[in-house]
Amino acid sequence: MRFRDLPITRKLVLITMLTSGVALLLAGAAFITYDLITFREMVARDMLSLSSIIGFNSRAALTFNDPQAAEGTLAALGERPNVLGACIYSPDGKVFATYTRPGEKVHFPAGPGAVGAHFVDNKLEVFEPIVLDKEPIGTIFCVRDMQDMYDRLMLYTGLVLAVLCLALLAAFGISAVLQRVISRPILNLAATAKTVSEKKDYSLRAEKRSADELGVLTEGFNEMLAQIQARDNALRESQQRLSVLVQNTPLGVVLWNANLEFLEWNKSAERILGFSESEVIGNKIFMIIPDSARPHVDQVVRQLFENTGGERSTNENITKDGRSIICSWYNTPLLDANGRVVAVASLVDDITQRVRAEDELKKAHDELELRVDERTRELQEAHAQLLETAHRAGMAEIATSVLHNVGNVLTGVNASASFIGETERASRINVMPRIVEMFREHHDDLGDFLTRDEKGKQLPGYVEALTDHLLKERVAILNEIDSLNKNVEHIRNIVSMQQSYAGVSGVVEFIALPELIEDAIRINSAGLGRHSIEIRREYGEVPRIGIEKHRVLQILVNLLSNAKYALTAKTEGERRITVRLSMQGEKAVKIQVADSGIGIATDDLERIFRYGFTTRKEGHGFGLHSSAMAAQAMGGSLTVLSEGLGKGAVFTLILPLQYMNREKALKP
Amino acid sequence: MPSVARRLFVFFVLLGTLCAGCTTYAEEASEYQIKGAFLFKFASFVEWPANAFADEKAPLVIGILGDDPFGRDFDERISGHAIGGRAVTVRRYRNVADAAKAQILFISSSERERLPAILDALKDSKALTVGDGEMFTRRGGMVGFIMSGASVRFCINNDAAKRAGLKVSAELLRLAKIVSGGE
């Protein structure tokens, strides 16, 4: 079994033992090497000093040429069991004295060699000069074996091996126990991982035992499990949802492979195409495709498997009972790991009904367009009529006002006529015939009658008084006749004014607005005067404008009339209408008719210009509507402001300096 | 340059032959040549008291009292050597009083008859007295040459040396036959 396949526990123990073993071996080798080197050096030093001592002690023997004595000195080396032999050379290089360990054979060099210690053939040889009074008097040679060093080497090696064995044993024991610190969490983790993968139970968790990297690993593993569990749950849920969707969707869900064989077929597909699941699985897709749709479908299929499109297709399909239906297909290529299309998931929707409905809808739409055109034409006509009506209504209003004024003046005329009649009927002139009779009776005795008759005496005074009276009466009647004439003249004026506005529609004139406003006020003057309404004029400088005079007049009359009604409906407080005239910017003028009347409810502000809207009992709801239409028709506008009931109202008429004719205004 | 190498070789061969000749000569050195050498070498193994020398620079004097058996070339052989930092000189004496100043004094056999008187006269001397024969030491001399076959040996009267304040090294004593006597 290879090392990397061993269980972690054994790996850890092996690693520990190997490590400690190698460390010990290296340390032991280093120690032995160091010891041997030290030992060699020590032996060399020892031999050198020993040679020096022996040499020193041999000086006299050398000096006085006494080899026996020298050998006696050398014999002292017998104390050193490792020393194999020694010899002393005289200054002329000859062997002077020797020592050989009993039982050994030593070959002494013929003459002295290099001074110092030399290891030769596992032996240590030492040459040391012998000096007396700074003069060399000879050389000593010693040779020793290194047996003790080899003994030492053997001993140490044995010792190191013994210690190694003991240490490995100890390392095995310790690591066998301590490796659990590392291996147990890993084994635990491995066991958990195995259980998880076998049982697919992602709710399991590994136990965290420490805060080291293994703890982090365990934590990470658990976190991963938690994520997988969450994802698993989410996946299951979404799968359930998807399955519910697939089962219940009104769309047919169809899966087919690269051989163009059906793999999946849901209920809706069965409902749409008639074939049951068992009837289609394993069969080619062409069973639901009529020949007429083959070229199109072939292209879609090719695109799908080349992954170059075909995601949407609307084509004819054929049902089990042979009906031809139109289906909309939503195709999704399913790729394998290499990006190859292995299958296609399709959603199918029967859109036959929709297509037909769309066709019908289109037909209906076309019809509708025709009808709309028609209606538009009708509306345009109606609009023109309405404008005409408004115009006429305006004229009617002016006529009403005129008649009203005429009526008022006629009252005066009538009163004058009555007064004259009554004055004449009750005139004392009636007594004149009796006076004339009296005169006739007393034609002859007129003088007597006048002087003596009681009646005749009073007569001159009576006639005087009568004459006085009749003169006065005449003055009164003449006055009335003047008034009558004036009233008649007034009526004539009114009528001629009405005639000047009537029947001149569409004629643009350059007019001075103040005069026009005055005309409007005059037309309304009867009602205004009767209700003692004060008119305040605030006219600014405006140029003459080119406009359809009678239409503006209609609007102004209508506004003034409305203001009058707003004021008369009020029982108390001042009754005042303020008419303002000013420029509105540079291209328009502004005419405002403000009253202190009953005002307009906020809700009514929006509706006030609508056709048929009125707050008056006798109103027809036409005046403001037609006025607004007329203002718009002239390229201007009519707006109203009121802060509410009882707060009065301000109508603002904007008129362009440059007139836009009716035809232009009609086409926005 | 093979010619140079050959010349060098010839030179060393000749030198070797010469040295071998010397050695032979030394081996066949006369008895007194050896004794002279020994006399000189004793200085290395004997310590004199400080007052044995006049000063630090004073030479070590080897004196010969009586007839000189060493010959004139003895001086030549000794001169130039130094022992213990001191130059070595040879002096020959007839007068004992003069001889008392030497550090090593060889008393010649010619003086055998008056030896006791000489030794007596040298009682206060710091000289290492050397003579021939064991009897010399028995009579109070310090070192006596004796012959052992062809070899020259010596005996030492250490007591006499000690009396003179001299310290003879153990090495030297080990080579010598130890004798006592005198006084």
Q: Single out the residue of A649, A642, A648, A643 nearest to residue A573, CA to CA.
A: A648
Dihedral sign from CA coordinates of A438, A444, A449, A453: negative
Give the H or E element holding residue A8: helix A8-57
Q: Does the beta-carbon distance from B169 to A60 stay under 8 Å?
A: yes
Is B47 domain-assigned? yes
Assess B45–A contact: CB distance below 8 Å, yes or no: yes
Set of chain A residues whose Cβ sits within 8 Å of the Cβ of B84: 133
Q: Which of A57, A60, A72 sits opposite B45 (nearest CB)?
A: A60
Q: What is the pLDDT of residue A533?
A: 85
C-beta of residue A116 within 8 angstroms of C-beta of residue A127: yes
In chain A, the residue whose alpha carbon lies closest to the alpha carbon of B43 is A133
Angstrom distance (rounded) from CA B58 to CA B127? 15
Q: What is the pLDDT of residue B143?
A: 94
Q: What is the pLDDT of residue A493?
A: 73
How distant is the alpha carbon of residue B34 from its chain centre? Answer: 9
Q: Residue B77 belongs to what domain range?
A: 30-178
Q: Single out the residue of A116, A148, A104 nearest to residue A47, CA to CA.
A: A116
Q: Does the beta-carbon distance from A60 to B82 stay under 8 Å?
A: no
The structure tokens listed for A406 are 């005429």
- What is the nearest CA distance from B170 to chain A, expressed in angstroms? 9
DSSP letters spanning chain B: -HHHHHHHHHHHHHHHHHHHHHHHHHHT--HHHHHHHHHHHHGGGEE--GGGSSSTTPPEEEEEESS-SS-THHHHHHTT-EETTEEEEEEEES-HHHHTT-SEEEE-GGGGGGHHHHHHHGGG---EEEEESHHHHHTT-SEEEEEETTEEEEEE-HHHHHHTT-EE-HHHHHHSEE-----
C-beta of residue A97 within 8 angstroms of C-beta of residue A58: yes
- What is the nearest CA distance from B83 to chain A, expressed in angstroms? 6
Q: Which domains does chain A have, with CATH numbers?
A: 3-168 (3.30.450.20), 249-350 (3.30.450.20), 372-496 (no CATH), 504-666 (3.30.565.10)
Set of chain A residues whose Cβ sits within 8 Å of the Cβ of B153: 66
Q: What percent of chain A has pLDDT over 90?
A: 19
Cα separation of the two ends of chain A: 98
Give, as one character, the DSSP assignment of residue A76.
Answer: G
Is B21 domain-assigned? no
Q: By three-state DSSP, how is residue A362 classified?
A: helix
Q: How many CB pairs under 8 A join A and B?
A: 32
How distant is the alpha carbon of residue A359 from its chain centre? Answer: 38
Q: Single out the residue of A14, A313, A384, A400 nearest to residue A171, CA to CA.
A: A14
Q: Which of B19, B41, B153 sits opposite A63 (nearest CB)?
A: B41
- What is the nearest CA distance from A79 to chain B, expressed in angstroms? 20
Angstrom distance (rounded) from CA A198 to CA A194? 6
What does the pLDDT look like over A341-357, one tens digit per residue? 889 999 898 888 888 88
Q: What is the pLDDT of residue A494?
A: 72
Q: What is the pLDDT of residue A666?
A: 42
The structure tokens listed for A482 are 């003047």
Q: What is the pLDDT of residue A48?
A: 93
Angstrom distance (rounded) from CA B35 to CA A170? 77
- What is the nearest CA distance from A77 to chain B, expressed in angstroms? 17
Contacts of A535 (CB under 8 A, 6+ apart): A521, A528, A576, A577, A579
- Best of B23, B27, B41, B42 to substitute, by most chain A Cβ atoms within 10 angstroms, is B41
* Residue A144, beta-bridge partner list: A83, A124
**Over 60: is that where the pLDDT of A567 sits?**
yes
Over range A73-83, report the average pLDDT. 89
- What is the nearest CA distance from B67 to chain A, expressed in angstroms? 24
**Over 90: is that where the pLDDT of A142 sits?**
yes
- Best of A54, A56, A64 to substitute, by most chain B Cβ atoms within 10 angstroms, is A64
Set of chain A residues whose Cβ sits within 8 Å of the Cβ of B83: 133
Q: By three-state DSSP, how is residue A36 classified?
A: helix
In a 13 Å sphere around the CA of A433, the CA atoms on its Cβ side amount to 2
Q: What is the pLDDT of residue A579?
A: 92
**Sheet of strand A576-584, all strands in order from the earlier edge strand to the far edge:** A534-539, A576-584, A588-595, A649-656, A637-641
Q: Does the beta-carbon distance from A59 to B151 stay under 8 Å?
A: no
Assess B13–A contact: CB distance below 8 Å, yes or no: no
Assess B44–A contact: CB distance below 8 Å, yes or no: yes
Radius of gyration of chain B (CA): 19
Set of chain B residues whose Cβ sits within 8 Å of the Cβ of A65: 151
Is B46 domain-assigned? yes
Of B131 and A440, more confident = B131
Assess B31–A contact: CB distance below 8 Å, yes or no: no
Q: What is the pLDDT of residue B65?
A: 92
Is B9 domain-assigned? no
What does the pLDDT look like over A481-530, one tens digit per residue? 888 887 787 777 777 666 666 555 566 778 888 888 888 888 777 777 77
Q: What is the pLDDT of residue B153?
A: 92
What does the pLDDT look like over A293-318, one tens digit per residue? 899 999 999 998 888 888 888 899 99
- What is the nearest CA distance from A132 to chain B, expressed in angstroms? 8
Query: Binning pLDDT at 50, 70 and 90, where does residue A600 land?
Result: confident
Angstrom distance (rounded) from CA A664 to CA A656? 13
Of A646 and A496, more confident = A646
Of A616 and A384, more confident = A384
Radius of gyration of chain A (CA): 72
Q: Which of A63-67, A122-126, A400-404, B46-50 bottoms out in mean pLDDT, i.e. has the lowest?
A: A400-404
**Over 80: is that where the pLDDT of A95 sits?**
yes
Q: Which of A61, A92, A133 sits opposite B175 (nearest CB)?
A: A61
Set of chain B residues whose Cβ sits within 8 Å of the Cβ of A133: 44, 82-84
Set of chain A residues whose Cβ sits within 8 Å of the Cβ of B171: 57, 59-61
C-beta of residue B105 within 8 angstroms of C-beta of residue B65: yes
Q: Does the beta-carbon distance from A133 to B84 stay under 8 Å?
A: yes
In chain B, the residue whose alpha carbon lies closest to the alpha carbon of A92 is B23
Of A79 and B12, more confident = A79
The parts of chain B modelled with pLDDT lower than 70 are 1-29, 183
Over range A359-363, report the average pLDDT. 89
Over range A363-371, report the average pLDDT. 90
Q: What is the complex's ipTM, to 2 decimals? A: 0.79
A208: left (phi over 0), alpha (psi -120 to 50) or beta: beta
In chain A, the residue whose alpha carbon lies closest to the alpha carbon of B16 is A92
Contacts of A514 (CB under 8 A, 6+ apart): A539, A581
Is B17 domain-assigned? no
Query: Binning pLDDT at 50, 70 and 90, where does residue A394 land?
Result: low
* Residue A318, beta-bridge partner list: A324
The structure tokens listed for A516 are 């026009």
- What is the nearest CA distance from B168 to chain A, expressed in angstroms? 12
C-beta of residue B170 within 8 angstroms of C-beta of residue A57: no
Set of chain B residues whose Cβ sits within 8 Å of the Cβ of A61: 171, 175
Is B23 domain-assigned? no
Q: By three-state DSSP, how is residue A229 classified?
A: helix
CATH number at residue B62: 3.40.50
Q: What is the pLDDT of residue A500?
A: 61
C-beta of residue A585 within 8 angstroms of C-beta of residue A668: no
Token pair 């007596």 in the structure block, residue: B120
Q: Which of A59, A65, A133 sits opposite B171 (nearest CB)?
A: A59
Q: By three-state DSSP, how is residue A505 classified?
A: coil
Structural domain total, chain B: 1
The structure tokens listed for A281 are 């699985």
- What is the nearest CA distance from A82 to chain B, expressed in angstroms? 26
**Over 80: is that where the pLDDT of A658 sits?**
no
**Residue A427 identity:** S
Mean pLDDT, all residues of chain A: 85
Query: Binning pLDDT at 50, 70 and 90, where does residue A622 land?
Result: low
In chain A, the residue whose alpha carbon lies closest to the alpha carbon of B26 is A92
The structure tokens listed for A354 are 């929709």
